Amino acid sequence: MDRRAALGYTAMVALGTLGRPQMLAGQSAGAPRATAPEAGFTVEYYYKIRWGAYAEFRRLYIKNHLPLLRRYQARGYILSMSATTPITHVGEGNRWDLRFDITWKDAIHAFGVLPDEDAITRELYPDQETFRREEQRRFELIVEHLDVPVTHEDVSTW
């Protein structure tokens, strides 16, 4: 089993979706809801960046990561994306500097099972040495990173 397939399998087990394909499409396994189920599979990606390094991190994110995400969106793997930054700060223990929300087509795509990921990366970044060096730098600037799969509920039905 290759790395991407293993990640997808691990994600399905962790999320309790193995053997329940309706969950991979964003549907609940229980009784039908009164409202239509949310399309896709949403993950909130939280980044805590070294103090004083946010501008460099953001520049590298926009240069080297966002174009990949946009290509995945053009291919239909991603349904929507948004970025959130806090207006004020909190204590160091709870601090985060960027939350990037992605609604993926399904859980499989959310956890890295993209058949053409390497080809897209080579196409967008022909100078692979520079790309790898800049991505390494971007990761060095991260103090903490969290991937949080979430569901959005219609509170009017509570």
Q: Residue 39 has what pLDDT?
A: 82
Q: How many residues does the chain have?
A: 158
Mean pLDDT of the chain: 82
pTM (two decimals): 0.74
Tell me the mean pLDDT in the region 18-40.
48
Q: Residue 16 has what pLDDT?
A: 46
Asked if residue 21 has pLDDT above 90, the reply is no
- Give percent above pLDDT 90 in the chain: 63
The label of the residue with tokens 């499989």 reads 108
CA-nearest of 84, 105, 115 to 25 is: 105
Domains in the chain: boundaries:
3-25+38-152
CATH number of 3-25+38-152: 3.30.70.100
Least confident piece of the model among 30-34, 59-63, 80-84, 138-142: 30-34
d(CA 104, CA 63): 21
Confidence of residue 38 (pLDDT cuts 50, 70, 90): low
Q: In what order do the strands lie in the sheet with 142-150?
A: 78-84, 98-104, 41-49, 142-150
Tell me the mean pLDDT in the region 53-71.
97
Q: Residue 89 has what pLDDT?
A: 78
The CB-side HSE value for 32 (13 A sphere, CA atoms) comes to 3
Q: Which residues pair with 142 in a beta bridge?
A: 49
Tell me the mean pLDDT in the region 21-32.
44
